[in-house]
A = this chain, B = another copy of it.
Amino acid sequence: MTPSPSAHLPLGDQRTGRFYGHDILSVSQFSRDDLEYIFGVAEAMRTMVQHVGTIDLLKGKILANLFYEPSTRTQSSFMAAMQRLGGSVIPISEVRYSSVSKGESLPDTVRTLECYADVIVLRHPELGAAAQAAAAARKPIINAGDGPGEHPTQALLDLFTIVEELGHVDGLTVTMLGDLKFGRTVHSLSRLLSLFDVTLNFVSPAQLTMPEKVTAELSRRAVKYSEHTRLDAVLPQTDVLYVTRVQKERFEDLALYESLKHAFVITPDTLKAAKPKMALMHPLPRVGEIATEVDADPRAAYFRQMEYGLFVRMALLAMVLGKA
C-alpha cells in the first residue's frame, strides 16, 4: 500500500496496532521483535480456534484472494483464516481466462480489486510482482509467493512451527534436506533463522546445494552453517529436520530427477538415529520424501505445521487490518 492509508479508511474506523495497513512482502522486513509480536498474536489465534473455532474479529471485512498460479493449499489456508475471523473472501483463481488475458496490468487489476476488498493476498509467477502490486495499492498486500522471489507467510509459519514444537529458537540445530537450490521455502526460512542463535546444516545432492546468495548472507551475519551430502553425519545433533520436495517441474533432465528423487527419503528407520525430541517438518505436498509410516511418530510435525500456518495467517490478516 502507499504511504497514507488513513485517508482511505472508513470514517468510523479507529484501528491501530503494529503492521496496521502494512504490506507483508518479504521476510527481510521483520525484526526479532516483530516475529515475537506476530507469534504472540498467532498463539492467541490458536487458543481461540481450539476453544471456540471462529470469532467475529474481521466480520464485514473482505479478502481478495488473487492467485495467478493455482495453489490449493495456500488459497485454502488464507480463505479459512479469513473465515475463522468472521470475514469473507473473493476467490480469484481464473485470472488467466479473464481481464488479464485482455492485457490488463497487475497494478490496474489490484487497483480495481481494492475497490471491492479490504486486503489482497497475491500469488504471482513473476519476481517482484508483490512489490509492484503494493506500490499501486492503497490497501494492504500480502505476498503469497512471487515466483522465484519470496513466500514470506510460509517462512513465518515454518518458524512458528519450530517455536510451538520446541518452545524456543536460540540454541537449536536446524537441518535442511533435499532440494536446497530451488526450494524457495528453505531460502526464506534460513534468512529468518539468521536473526537467532542457531546452527544450520544443509544436506543436499551436489547438484542442489543452497545458492551462494543465501550462504553469503548467512556468512555476513555470522550464522554457523555447514554443507553436507549425507544426512547421517548431522542427524544425531539435529533439533529440527526440514525436508523439502525435489520438484519434478524444476528439472529439464527427467533422468536426473528420477535418480535424485528418492535419495533422501525419511523412514521410521532413519529416525532411529534422531533425537527423541525433534521436529520433522515438510512444507507439503510430499511425494515420497517422507514415508507415510513416519506419520504416526510424535516427531512428525508436518500436518501440525499446516495448522500453525492457519494461525499465522489469521494473525497477519488481523494485524494488517488493525484488529490484532
> Which residues of chain A have a CB within 8 Å of any CB of chain B?
10-13, 49-55, 59-62, 64, 70-73, 76-77, 79-80, 83-84, 86, 88, 90-95, 97-100, 102-105, 107-109, 111-113, 115-118, 245, 247-249, 284-287, 292, 303, 306-307, 309-310
Contacts and interface: CB of A to CB of B under 8 A. Distances in A.
Nearest to A295: B111
Contact of A10 (B51, B107, B247, B284): B51
A64 to B, nearest CB: 7
Contact of A11 (B50, B80, B99): B50
B70 A60 contact: no
Contacts of A113: 76
Q: How many copies does the complex hold?
A: 3
Contacts of A61: 53-54
A112 B286 contact: no
Given A71-B98, A95-B72, A98-B71, A60 B54 contact: yes
Contact of A115 (B50, B79, B112, B310): B310
A86 B61 CA distance: 10
Given A76-B92, A108-B285, 12 more contacts: A11-B50, A11-B51, A52-B60, A72-B100, A76-B112, A83-B90, A103-B287, A104-B285, A107-B292, A112-B303, A112-B306, A116-B306
A248 B13 CA distance: 43
A54 B59 contact: yes
A95 B225 CA distance: 38
Q: Closest 10 CB pairs between A and B?
A: A54-B60, A80-B116, A104-B285, A72-B98, A115-B306, A103-B287, A70-B98, A70-B97, A83-B88, A115-B307
Contact of A83 (B62, B93, B306): B62
Nearest to A71: B98
Nearest to A55: B60
Contacts of A79: 90, 116
